[in-house]
A and B are shown apart, each in its own frame.
Chain A
């Protein structure tokens, strides 16, 4: 523990101005406010890169539900980040169909090339986090990966260096 009080930045709400208007439009699509929860969480993640406990409380308040319920939803869906991740968040499918076609080698190549070295860890330069995910629904284009929102098909270990270079 620090001997001196560490200044904590007060939480800045996400849904102000244009984002608040956007959220209101989304809420209007559903007969119950809670229907807008998944879209709202996506908006938070797009704005901040991850979803903090404070953000969950903010969303809960806007949608007339409780922080506990929002947290239950955030922890259920694997695409929501509860901690900051590397600038490039890489998801590699390794389920059976891609597994048969060398997905695990793609993972190894990515871990090495990005410097992340371990699954789920962020590389020392803060630019990469690589994780294995389940079927990405592109089994005919092995191995598919997601780099943030970019869905890249047919990745092989040979293509990895060029890919990493492009995103770095």
Chain B
């Protein structure tokens, strides 16, 4: 295209600049201008050819050149973005590698905390058993002081025996035998007292005829203890099972909470 011809029919330069600007806007507005549009624009330009239009077209050319520079820059930015995405993916993989052992050790830690809890509960039980040794002595005195105390002592010794069975079960799963050295003595103390107690308890039935004659109510009490015994122990078992269910529910809740927290931290980090 030739821009050297200087039109003579325009008197006002300002008017020609305005028109040229309008056309320029049209060019930028039509990102994909049709052939008709271009033709119409060219014809328009032919109408308003003058010195200013040459400058305008030069300006347009400059703008186009600058746009090309911008396009190149945008290309660079896109490339950089791709690189960044690649590096982010690599980082994510690396993060997964890092978090895998952390999760693994987290589980180990959880187990460790659980066993620590078990050990502390066993220690607690142990401290109870230390008191039980004194309690057994008290029960022995109680048993010797009066026959009528046998009902109280019976209940106590049954409960202690039951606890002893439970504790023995727990101790099976603990490796810290050295920490539980004196436990056996305390358990043995209950076992000895149980033998001692029942030796006396069964001896009452030696004099069943005499008891039925002189103290029938006492004989009935003794028999009732035997009758109630399985139910009594079964009730304790039910309570213990309920306690276990609650404990498992609590642990399940804790585990879920931990998982959720871990996911939350992971998201926050990303």
* Chains A and B are bound partners: no
Residues of B at the A interface (CB closer than 8 Å) are none
Residues of A at the B interface (CB closer than 8 Å) are none
